[in-house]
């Protein structure tokens, strides 16, 4: 028992032992070639799995270049700016960047030009720019609990609590919620930025929001909350991203999606300016426009492939629930981020003031 004399020492030993026991199988990382490796800023979760299967693994098999995901912040603007300004490249390029975010970064001069030849030509023009190529599309749609309503809901129905009673939530976000309100007021999605071109349009949007404010039970801030709201019935009506709603539907819950009146956003690739492996990353990004890869990745994420040809590689039944399916995208519009970009701050301040009043 002399060994057990010092309790502090035994405590540390126990701790170290526990740590070592878990550490054993994890020693696989470490020494590995630097030249044949690309690191990608990635937000984790299902996206990592989907991209690994759709792109990283097949690319490795084809070229011997390994693409390794590195966690990045969900909102990457501050991070990419800091990376470029300091020249400290935590990762070589980014995955899952919103087209709107890429436009902001492009404006600041923080992105590399991309190679827009080959299969990238299949990507529609509104899903790419000189510094950004979309790989998948996510839509901001209306989701609701189907067992509570006898018919599919429209945006306008959300504003009719007498006829369609139920708990309602809206996103605590100026852009998405103002767009939603104008669609509910009868504006076609593609016309929203025209309506907001003058003060009368803003007045109209806020007047519409005034009508429903007292009926909103939850102003959600994090999209990760919304599947839980729909799953547990915390909310009966909740506009959210289609992939979030789909995860609840896939688990067997009675949830429906209304595509008409929705807005979509492209998510894709970009390279921080000055990235030392920019050329390698450009080649990889070009590869990622292939329809087969996009089909595999998008099917898993319930998002729409940017390359329209990819839909041919997806089971028709599954393709039906993706945003870029012709039936779904027909009455949606791309969020006009070039319109919103310079107005974002003012819109947000005004919206937040309205919300807190």
Could you give the string, one character per residue 69-98, with x where binding to another protein holds by CB under 8 A and - elsewhere?
Answer: -xxxxxx-xxx--x--xxxx-xx-------
* Sign (positive or negative) of CA dihedral 262, 42, 71, 86: negative
* Min CB(327)–another protein separation in Å: 26
At 165, phi and psi to the nearest 5?
Answer: -70, 150
Does 34 bind another protein (CB under 8 A)? Our answer is no
**Of 39-47, 56-64, 111-119, 271-279: span binding another protein (CB under 8 A):** 39-47
Token pair listed for 345? 């701050």
| Interacting residues with another protein between 111 and 130 (CB under 8 A) | none
Closest to another protein by CB, 194 vs 232, is 232
Nearer Cβ to another protein (153/302):
302
Instruction: Please state the three-class secondary structure of 312-323 as a single string.
Output: HHCCHHHHCCCC
Q: Which secondary structure element, helix H or strand E, spans residue 80, and what is its range?
A: helix 77-86
Of the candidates 146, 231, 292, 331, which one interacts with another protein according to CB under 8 A?
231
Among 126, 130, 194, 228, binds another protein (CB under 8 A): 228
Helix (H) / strand (E) element for 93: namely strand 93-98
Tokens of 293: 């890869």
Contact 302, 138 (CB under 8 A): no
Q: Cβ distance 255 to 245 under 8 Å?
A: yes
Spatial CA neighbour of 127 closest among 109, 107, 100: 100
In the complex, least distance from residue 211 CB atom to another protein, rounded to whole angstroms = 17
Q: Which of residues 313-352 bind another protein (CB under 8 A)?
A: 344-345, 348-349, 352
User: Binder to another protein among 35, 125, 317, 353 (CB under 8 A)?
Assistant: 353
Cα angle value 23/24/30 (rounded, 5°): 80
Q: How far is the CB of 33 from another protein (least distance, A)?
A: 13
Of 170-189, which residues contact another protein (CB under 8 A)?
172
Taking the complex as a whole, the smallest distance from the CB of residue 189 to another protein amounts, in Å, to 22
**Of 53, 60, 104, 119, which one interacts with another protein (CB under 8 A)?**
104
Is 286 in contact with 100 (CB distance < 8 Å)? Answer: no
As a residue count, the chain comes to: 357
DSSP code for 128 = B
Least distance in angstroms from the C-beta of 180 to another protein:
16
Closest CA to 93 of 118, 141, 59, 117: 59
Cα-to-chain-centroid distance, residue 85: 25
CB distance 183 to 231 below 8 Å? no
Q: Which part of the chain contacts another protein (CB under 8 A), choosing from 55-63, 221-229, 289-297, 322-330? A: 221-229
**Contact pick of 177, 247, 289, 335 for another protein (by CB under 8 A):** 247
Tell me how far apart the alpha carbons of residues 162 and 236 are, in angstroms, rounded to a whole number. 14
- Binding to another protein by CB under 8 A, coded x per residue (else -) over 10-29, reads xx--xx--xx--xx-xx-xx
Residues engaged in binding another protein (CB under 8 A): 1, 4-5, 7, 10-11, 14-15, 18-19, 22-23, 25-26, 28-29, 39, 43-47, 68, 70-75, 77-79, 82, 85-88, 90-91, 104, 167, 172, 217-219, 221-225, 227-228, 231-234, 247-248, 251, 344-345, 348-349, 352-353, 355-356
């Amino acid at each position: 028992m002399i060994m057990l004399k010092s309790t502090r020492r035994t405590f540390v030993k126990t701790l170290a032992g526990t740590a070592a026991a878990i550490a054993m199988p994890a020693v696989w990382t470490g020494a590995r070639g630097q030249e044949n490796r690309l690191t990608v800023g990635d937000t984790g979760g299902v996206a990592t799995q989907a991209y690994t299967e759709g792109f990283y693994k097949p690319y490795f098999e084809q070229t011997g270049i390994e693409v390794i995901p590195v966690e990045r912040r969900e909102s990457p603007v501050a991070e990419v700016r800091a990376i470029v300004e300091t020249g400290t490249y935590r990762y070589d390029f980014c995955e899952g960047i919103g087209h709107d975010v890429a436009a902001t970064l492009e404006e600041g001069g923080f992105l590399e030009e991309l190679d827009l030849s080959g299969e990238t030509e299949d990507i529609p023009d509104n899903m790419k720019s000189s510094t950004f190529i979309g790989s998948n599309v996510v839509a901001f749609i209306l989701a609701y609990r189907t067992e509570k309503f006898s018919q599919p809901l429209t945006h306008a129905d959300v504003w009719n609590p007498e006829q369609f009673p139920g708990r309602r939530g809206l996103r605590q976000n100026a852009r998405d919620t103002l767009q939603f309100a104008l669609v509910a007021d009868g504006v076609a999605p593609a016309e929203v930025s025209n309506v907001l071109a003058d003060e009368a349009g803003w007045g109209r949007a806020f007047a519409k929001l005034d009508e429903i404010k007292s009926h909103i039970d939850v102003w959600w801030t994090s999209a990760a909350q919304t599947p839980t709201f729909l799953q547990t019935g915390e909310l009966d009506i909740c506009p959210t991203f289609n992939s979030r709603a789909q995860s609840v539907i896939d688990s067997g819950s009675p949830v429906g999606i209304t595509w008409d009146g929705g807005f979509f956003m492209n998510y894709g690739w970009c390279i921080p300016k000055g990235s030392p492996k920019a050329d390698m990353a450009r080649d990889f990004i070009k590869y990622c426009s292939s329809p087969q890869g996009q089909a595999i990745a998008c099917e898993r994420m319930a998002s729409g492939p940017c390359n329209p040809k990819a839909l041919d590689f997806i089971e028709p039944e599954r393709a039906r629930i993706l945003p870029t399916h012709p039936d779904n995208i027909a009455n949606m519009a791309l969020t006009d981020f070039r319109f919103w970009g310079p107005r974002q701050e003012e819109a947000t301040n005004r919206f937040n003031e309205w919300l807190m009043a």
